[in-house]
């Protein structure tokens, strides 16, 4: 328990660095799966480790010790985890618990926002693209709900700056988001980040990976250069919006659009090897947690035996 | 042209498309583009008398109210899981994007010449 319990924490910088590389250099479908999966695995493992670090403190609570049949003092004396680390783990777990509550609230708000958007569409036809009569430049994939299928929204403002082929590519792009359930990847990575704030950069990585996934999907269905020019035009058009409502892009200062356009003009990324490294890290994290749990159980077993003799 | 078909909400014959587009495109040009879009599977057609009437494979227009418009105008912070097409652009990227757009145009031109 002494060292292996800290294992999942050691893996954090490794998984974050690999995720960044993966989301930019790999086939996007593999990248999205590997980054999301490894983030969840590392997040769960770190929470589990915090739980183990907290356990000696919990077992010193008189009532718990009474039930378990050991003496609180013997845990205190023999525990390999200093009390202040256990106390820190307690604080961290409380903060993470709050973050999960916030995450649940956000998912709930998203689901109700999606419901409200669906409610504004006529019930007559339940498939297809909705052209929104707005000068704003935008396109959105509105995920399916239990009762309604997913919809693609395109604004007139966006259609106006694109030619026919580009319009088809944009619709294919948004359709790919719906078909592959990309919203669920975003929800999952947000949960991982809630459980472990140090994984924050992986949230951006997954968002980039699913965008690139949809880009490549649409590029394969239409044409990659067409998808590239559609993206570049749309991005440039958001800079000079005809309405005053266009300032939201200022909140985000990443270079994701340029990265995506450049990727479409380059040869497609076919590599998947780094994804296996991420899978390996996920397995290591899970293994470290299992090992540490086993060690912890053995330790408390020893404490119990110590009391009996 | 695709936008005109979306806006119509019903199958259009080429003459109607030509009128809807409103530009001075020749009838044969409109015809060519429609056939090309049909070949790509973007639009479908049905017999309407002597001509074909075209409509988008999956498309319709609806007048939608505030919620949707706000979503489009204010972007992703409305709902984190609604994927927008482009989620933010650093002003410093403008030059890079212009160059990339030129590159994309060049690639498309070469393809167009070849095909």
ipTM of predicted complex:
0.72
- What residue ranges of chain A have pLDDT lower than 50? 124, 126, 241-254, 309
Residue A44 pLDDT:
96
For residue B86, what pLDDT is reported?
A: 65
User: How many angstroms separate the CA of residue B16 from the nearest CA in chain A?
Assistant: 17
From chain A, pick out residues whose CB is under 8 angstroms from the CB of B114.
Answer: none
pLDDT at B74 over 90: no
Q: Collect all residues of chain B within an 8 Å Cβ-Cβ radius of residue A114.
A: 79, 81-82
Q: What is the residue-averaged pLDDT of chain B?
A: 70
- Say what the pTM is: 0.79
Residue B79, pLDDT > 50, answer no
Flag whether residue B84 sits within 8 Å of chain A, measured between CB atoms: yes
Nearest to A39 by CA among A185, A178, A177, A211: A185
Nearest CA in chain B to A185: B81
Residues A258, A191: contact at Cβ < 8 Å?
no
pLDDT band at B57 (very low <50, low <70, confident <90, very high): low
Q: CB burial class (10 A; 0-12, 13-18, 19+) of residue A277? A: middle
Q: Looking at the predicted structure, is the pLDDT value of residue B71 above 80?
A: no
DSSP string over A40-77: HHHHHHHHHHHHHHHHHHHHTSHHHHHHHTS-HHHHHH
pLDDT at A120: 73
| Span B74-95, average pLDDT | 58
Neighbour-count burial of B27, counting CB atoms closer than 10 A to its CB (0-12 exposed, 13-18 middle, 19+ buried)? exposed
According to the model, what pLDDT value does residue A19 have? 93
In A, minimum Cα distance to B7 occurs at: A131
With H, G, I as helix, E, B as strand and everything else as coil, classify residue A4: helix
| Res. B77 pLDDT band, cuts 50 70 90 | very low
What distance in Å separates the CA atoms of residue A49 and residue A88, rounded to the nearest whole number? 12
Of the candidates A295, A264, A262, A227, the one whose C-alpha atom is nearest the C-alpha of residue A81 is A295
pLDDT of residue A155: 81
Angle formed at CA A52 by CA A277 and CA A94, multiple of 5 degrees: 95
- Confidence at residue A241, expressed as pLDDT on a 0 to 100 scale: 44
Task: Give me the phi and psi of A79, to 5 degrees please.
Answer: -65, 130
Closest CA to A6 of A299, A302, A296: A296
Query: Which residues from A are below 8 Å from B87, CB to CB?
Result: 207, 211, 249, 252, 256-257
The pLDDT of residue A240 = 55
Q: How confident is the model at residue B76 (pLDDT cuts 50, 70, 90)?
A: very low
Q: Are A293 and A50 in contact (CB under 8 A)?
A: no
């Amino acid at each position: 328990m002494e060292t292996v319990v800290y294992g999942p924490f050691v893996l954090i910088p490794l998984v974050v660095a690999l995720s960044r590389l993966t989301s930019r250099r790999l086939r996007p479908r593999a990248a999205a799966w590997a980054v999301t999966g490894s983030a969840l695995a590392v997040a769960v493992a770190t929470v589990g480790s915090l739980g183990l670090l907290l356990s000696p403190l919990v077992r010193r609570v008189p009532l718990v010790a009474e039930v378990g049949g050991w003496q609180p003092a013997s845990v205190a004396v023999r525990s390999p985890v200093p009390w202040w680390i256990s106390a820190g783990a307690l604080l961290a777990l409380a903060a993470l618990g709050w973050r999960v509550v916030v995450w649940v609230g956000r998912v709930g708000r998203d689901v109700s926002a999606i419901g409200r958007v669906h409610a504004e569409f006529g019930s007559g036809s339940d498939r297809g693209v909705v052209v929104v009569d707005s000068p704003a430049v935008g396109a959105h994939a509105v995920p399916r709900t239990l009762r309604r299928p997913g919809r693609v929204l395109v604004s007139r403002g966006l259609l106006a700056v694109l030619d026919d082929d580009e319009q088809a590519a944009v619709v294919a792009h948004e359709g790919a988001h719906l078909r592959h359930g990309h919203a669920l990847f975003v929800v999952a990575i947000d949960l991982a980040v809630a459980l472990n704030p140090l994984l924050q950069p992986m949230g951006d990585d997954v968002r980039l990976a699913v965008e690139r996934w949809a880009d490549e999907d649409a590029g394969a269905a239409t044409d990659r250069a067409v998808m590239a020019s559609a993206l570049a035009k749309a991005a440039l058009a958001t800079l000079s919006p005809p309405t005053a409502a266009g300032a939201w892009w200022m909140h985000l200062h990443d270079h994701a659009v340029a990265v995506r356009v450049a990727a479409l003009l380059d040869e497609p990324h076919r590599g998947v090897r780094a994804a296996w490294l991420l899978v390996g890290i996920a397995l290591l994290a899970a293994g470290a947690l299992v090992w540490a749990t086993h060690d912890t159980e053995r330790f408390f077993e020893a404490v119990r035996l110590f009391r009996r003799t | 042209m695709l936008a005109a078909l979306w806006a119509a909400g019903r199958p259009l014959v080429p003459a109607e498309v030509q009128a809807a587009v409103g530009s001075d495109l020749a009838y044969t040009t409109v015809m060519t583009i429609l056939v090309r879009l049909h070949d790509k599977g973007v639009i479908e057609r049905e017999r309407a008398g002597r001509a074909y009437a075209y409509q988008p494979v999956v498309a319709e227009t609806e007048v939608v109210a505030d919620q949707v418009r706000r979503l489009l105008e204010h972007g992703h912070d409305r709902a984190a899981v609604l994927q927008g097409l482009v989620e933010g652009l650093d002003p410093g990227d403008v030059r890079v994007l212009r160059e990339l757009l030129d590159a994309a145009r060049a690639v498309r031109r070469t393809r167009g010449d070849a095909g």
